[in-house]
Amino acid sequence: MLPDDTLANVLYVDLSKKHFRIDKRQDLFDKYIGGAGVAIQLLREECPEGIDPFDPENPIVFAVGPLTALFPLASKTVAMFKSPHTGNLGESHCGGRSAVAIRMAGYGAIVIKGASDIPLYLAIHKDQIHFRDASSLWGIGNSFTVGRIIRENEPEPGLRTIMRIGRAGEQLVSYSCVVTETYRHFGRLGLGAVFGSKKLKAVMVSGKRSLPVSDKKEYKKVYHEIYQEAVSSPVMKKYQDLGTAENVVPLNKFGGLPTKNLKEARFDGASEISGETFAEQYLGRRLACSHCPVACIHIAALREPYEKAYFYKTSMISYDYEPIYALCSMLGGSDAAAFLKLMDRIEALGLDVMSTGVVLAWATEAQERGVISEKETMGIKLGWGDYTAYMKAVRLIVEQPNKFYKALARGVDRAASLYGGDDYALAFGGNEMPGYHTGPGAHIGVLIGSRHSHLDNAGYSVDQKVLAKKQVSPEELAEALLSEERWRQILSSLVVCFFARGIYKPDAVSKTLRLAGFDIAPEDLLSIGEEIHKEKYRFKTREGFSLDKLRLPKRIFETLSPTGKLDEKFIRKTIEYVKEEMSRSPGRH
């Protein structure tokens, strides 16, 4: 029995019947720890095979882990669902206050099924669950406003999270996100659209209590060690100083910064959109997720005059490397203020910024090549770096007034399948690319990754650390990617922020878990990680995924990477090796 057995509480909510129950699922937490490990089991149990992602039976699973609210940087919540964007496994992680609030409310996981007949939001105050009418919130153009209204409506004491969608989720844009605490997101793969299909405007969770540990003295000691590392290690300092935006300059120098829909991998305007430029000219404040001493969330203060004389409107807008890549270099734009305004619009609408940037980049090139015309774009002339045109286009992507914008609202794969141009439609496994053209590792990593994210196995990092220095074989590359992804299943099950992966190594994880009531040796963690990874792969295969069917956009072979020209044969061989590895039976369970 865990010191805190409420971790094993799973709240099951049925939106159709406005009904809920709480079950003890000690079996799942004992075997799979929490977070991603437990979420994939709940998804497998609750998601009928072959279901349409917008079917009411598609579950939304939120899960946290045993270190949540106990140790620094265990600040994330995992969401799992069937993705409307890829038609397969949807997994997205988010910080803010979401994880700690769920744990404080007394749950390790929440499963939401069904669909409401009217717009509603869920208010979860510990074991009090309310289905509140959200008809007056539906259609509000700004997800921030929705958060503000719910905050005033739900004045419970304690830690609170408000996870809500914008217009994009209501309109079922397949890459719409769920925004929490204004600046954090369940970004990728369309959780916002699944909320929208259920007429679920928001989920508010609050709770307040303290958590027991198995040995208080040892807890204080281990806590202190982790805290010290978090506040003093140079890597964590980098996240605090300039944040991930620091990557713009080195990636550009290296020749791995996707530019103008990856027609190039170096951007002339890189210094104008660098982390240094944003810090010097715009940085207004830094924020942290709950229970994190690092505070890597960088918020720009954008001051705009709105009347003659000295009248200004100041908007606070978060920025990171990925949005800068997606809306600046990828779109050939280096106007930092215009980027921030576009970012603000995208946040308010509740779109995933990476997919949006790649979709706009594809549309710009398609128009440049004459594949589409102003007839499709409804009079908009998309041009590299033209933020006025992009501002208009994102509104139309959400409102979907014609066939073209309906296609853009489903991502570049869909748009290219209708209009042509798949050679330069930069999606991998159905998900739009992240900001790395560093070598084969970056692209293979996203292709084979369980959620087609650069965060699955950090292939870009393998490119920079290994491939830039020496040749490796397809087997070696596949091994490096798989072993990183397997270990990340443990981090995703705890659920700790990936930025703290240098702190939460196997020994430290084993030590912290012991204090939370789990006795798992470091070597056993590795086999649990492998099993969770395989469980995800099994789910994906069940839903039709095949490593044999992956599309490789030609563009990645045309633009030189820092490791040289990419070789399709090498990439296919690496994927073949991954396939062989995945078909071997798991060792532990």
Residues 104-143, mask of contacts with ligand SF4 (x by CB under 6 A): ----------------------------------------
How many alpha carbons fall within 13 Å on the CB side of residue 253? Answer: 8
* Burial call 338-367: b when 16+ CB within 10 Å, e when fewer: bbbbbbbbbbbbbbbbbbbbbbbbbbbbbb
Site membership for ligand SF4, residue 348 (CB under 6 A) = no
Interface with ligand SF4, residue 295, by CB under 6 A: yes
Please state the closest distance from residue 7 (CB atom) to ligand SF4, in A: 20
Whole-number Cα distances in Å, 282 to 97, 276, 297, 302, 385: 25, 10, 13, 7, 20
Interactions with ligand SF4, residue window 516-575 (CB under 6 A): none
Per-position x/- string for 357-376, each x denoting binding to ligand SF4 as judged by CB under 6 A, each - no binding: --------------------
Write phi, then psi, for 174 (nearest 5 degrees). Answer: -70, -10
Interface stretch with ligand SF4, choices 142-150, 284-292, 322-330, 546-554 (CB under 6 A): 284-292
300 binds ligand SF4 (CB under 6 A): no
CB 199 within 8 A of CB 118: yes
* Residue number with CB closer to ligand SF4 (125 or 451): 451
Query: Is residue 64 a contact residue for ligand SF4 (CB under 6 A)?
Result: no
SS (H, E, C) 463-477: HHHHHCCCCCCHHHH
Strand order in the sheet with 311-319: 283-287, 297-307, 311-319
Dihedrals phi, psi of 63, to nearest 5 degrees? -145, 145
The span from the CA of 569 to the CA of 120, in Å, is: 51
Sites for ligand SF4 among residues 235-274 (CB under 6 A): 239
Contact call for residue 37 and ligand SF4 (CB under 6 A): no
Tell me the β-bridge partners of 312.
305
Nearest approach in angstroms of CB 95 to ligand SF4 is: 4
Q: Kindly state the smallest distance separating residue 294's Cβ from ligand SF4, in Å.
A: 4
3-state SS, residue 572: helix
Based on CB atoms, which residue is closest to ligand SF4, 321 or 428? 321
Contact 186, 178 (CB under 8 A): yes
Candidates 42, 67, 178, 296; binder of ligand SF4 (CB under 6 A) is: 296
Distance CA 547, CA 209 (A): 46
Interface with ligand SF4 (CB under 6 A), residue total 13
Task: Locate 122 and state its tokens.
Answer: 């869920």
Query: Is the CB of 73 or the CB of 226 nearer to ligand SF4?
Result: 73
What's the DSSP call for residue 51?
Answer: -
Is the Cβ of residue 326 or residue 496 nearer to ligand SF4 in the bound state? 496
288 binds ligand SF4 (CB under 6 A): yes
Stretch that binds ligand SF4, among 288-296, 393-401, 405-413, 478-486 (CB under 6 A): 288-296
Residue among 154 and 456 whose Cβ is closer to ligand SF4: 456
The DSSP call for residue 585 is: P
Q: Is 292 in the site for ligand SF4 (CB under 6 A)?
A: yes
Contacts of 150 (CB under 8 A, 6+ apart): 121, 137, 162, 164, 202, 204
As measured in angstroms, the least distance from the Cβ of 229 to ligand SF4 is 13
Q: Which is nearer to ligand SF4, 162 or 412 (CB)?
A: 162
Rounded Cα–Cα distance for residues 43 and 57 (Å): 11
The reply on whether position 183 binds ligand SF4 by CB under 6 A is: no
Q: Does 297 bind ligand SF4 (CB under 6 A)?
A: yes
Footprint of ligand SF4 on residues 477-516 (CB under 6 A)? 497, 499
Contact set with ligand SF4 (CB under 6 A):
73, 75, 95, 239, 288-289, 292, 294-297, 497, 499
